[in-house]
Chains A and B, each alone.
Chain A
Amino acid sequence: MISLTDVSYAYPDAEALTLEHVDLEVERGSIAGIVGASGAGKTTLAKIIAGFIPHADGGELSGTVRVDGRDLSTGSLVDAVSVVGLVIQNPFNQISGAKYTVREEIAFGLENFGTPRDEMQRRVDEVAALLRIEHLLDRSPYALSGGQQQLVAIASMIVLRTPVIVMDEPTAQLDPAGTRMVFDVLSALRETGITIVIFEHKLELLQQHADRLHVVADRSIVLSGAPDDVLADDRLAQWAVGTTRYVTAGRLARERGLLPPEVPLPVSFEQAERVFDRERSVR
């Protein structure tokens, strides 16, 4: 569905490349989680997958970016937005500024695509129910808390039903329950065949929901694999990427000789429950 081959990029006027020789494959109807340190180039990569780079931000892009069979590096931004929706990192900047109510704000993209009015209303109601923001529909998009704005930003992308959705840290402003809800919504969207690329620091949720994880470091993608394998990889620290507290506790217990080295490091809650259950392991 998404295929990046030997992609390199430099921002306008920048002396160095921000990304270099990036290869990435994401299957249709899957959730790809992308992790990486601050400033590693995650947002840059998100914008490349969504066609914002080079069409909106300029700079020098090389290599090929194919999404749903189209070459985004040579096509236009209009081409790109019909296949990929991008939830940008700062929800405060995603609001169009053109609309008076949250309802109109969520409908903004549909309106641009010329969606008939009653279908538009129906779809806005549907997505508002999904994200539990019905009570905000008549508010001004500016009269919202940070997390509420983030949910509106997510809603305004999901409502478009593009085959691919790219989300740049979409739960950063959300409370723990709201974060779980968004991941559940993404898992449900995947079942309908939508492909999701999510840039996230919340590793426990990535472990639960992502099909594959990719690590951005040293200007490229340095590791791709199943979430359990990636999160237990010893090199994460060297790439300044964190892991779950279960892994941290497992490592510490190993160091102190409390867990034998042959016991695999627990990545998830369930794995940790088995590993740290004294009664069971003693018997």
Chain B
Amino acid sequence: MSRADAEGVAPVANTAGADPVIVGMEVLIEDVRFSYPSGVEAVKGVSLSIRPGERVAIVGQNGAGKTTLVRQLNGIFRPTSGRVQVGDWITSEHTIAELATRVGYVFQNPDEQLFARTVRADVEFGPRNLGLDSAQVARRAETAIEAVGLSGVADLHPHHLSLSERKRVALAGVVAMGTPVVVLDEPTTGQDAAGVDMIAQVVAALTDAGRTVIAITHDMEFCAEHFDRVIVMAGGQVLVDGHPRDVFVRDAELDAAAVEPPQLTRLARALGWDDQPLSAEEFVGAFARRGAHS
């Protein structure tokens, strides 16, 4: 796949004036398989239904097929068999450029994605190609850059930023596109505590606005604290799919997927508590209830 393919977003009808309202879209994945030309079968029959506005995390071992799976959504890869539907579109019937108006994708490696000479120009690239007028483009870029905490460096060259900052530039670029579906490939890698919070807020703002968010992550704390649904993958398949509280007790599947519950969930279990706290708040709440009994 060349950069031009991935980013050559076709202009769509200009909706001058007010920003068009963005609503989330449903994503349907039906028995999708995908093999790389080298013969590796990376996705082996995955079916998922994701509702508009849902906030979904995908976790699982290295090489599980997470990145390969989400790349089917925006047409970078096409399923070897099975089908993917985004809203009312079946992806096989649409070009990468068309799909880019529905599915935004933040790459695992930001350096594959950034190419403009300034942070601002990079973030403006997507919305401009959607055919928005320049006031809308500027407004969207400004908002997105601020949301990821980079207002102070908006006029610098992305390559003069640190890696975690570059990752947030890529995120801002996708947020500014205003796509109904946003896919984040390991958004928190390399982020410090404040960066993780910032990304969690961006995710919450997206889903609050009704947009669908699918995030791949190895960060179990991030997953437990901010997502309502976790999909666990291993060997190209989905092993478990459910609320974090139900997923983080499935030891056998977690083990097979090289995943472990978050710190405080593990701790509560070791203490013999039957609640499954997913955050410090919940953990301390459970601790307080126990105190009241004694």
Contact = CB atoms under 8 A, between A and B. Distances in A.
B131 to A, nearest CB: 32
A93 interface: yes
B267 A201 contact: no
Interface in A132-185: 139-140, 143-148, 151, 169, 172-179
A129 interface: no
Contact of A147 (B63, B111, B281): B63
A176 B38 contact: no
Given A146-B62, A146-B186, A273 B267 contact: yes
A161 to B, nearest CB: 25
B262 interface: yes
Interface residues of B, number: 51
Contacts of B162: 38-39, 43
Contacts of A16: none
Contact of B267 (A38, A175, A241, A246): A246
A257 to B, nearest CB: 9
A245 interface: yes
B116 interface: no
Contacts of B191: 38, 201
Interface residues of A, number: 50
A178 B258 contact: yes
A38 B38 contact: no
A150 B249 CA distance: 29
Contacts, number: 140
B264 A143 contact: no
A107 B40 CA distance: 24
A38 B284 contact: no
B267 A276 contact: yes
Interface in A42-100: 43, 89-90, 92-93
A92 B186 contact: no
B280 A176 contact: no
B271 A273 contact: yes
A240 interface: yes
Contacts of B218: 147, 173-176, 179
A33 to B, nearest CB: 14
A217 to B, nearest CB: 11
Given A140-B38, A175-B62, A248-B280, A38 B165 contact: yes
Nearest to A282: B294
Contacts of B164: 38-39
B248 to A, nearest CB: 12
Given A245-B264, A246-B264, 15 more contacts: A39-B164, A89-B163, A140-B38, A148-B62, A174-B62, A174-B218, A175-B258, A176-B260, A179-B218, A201-B190, A269-B263, A269-B270, A273-B267, A276-B271, A276-B287
Interface of A: 11, 36-39, 43, 89-90, 92-93, 139-140, 143-148, 151, 169, 172-179, 201, 204, 240-242, 244-246, 248-249, 252-253, 256, 258, 269, 272-273, 276-279, 282
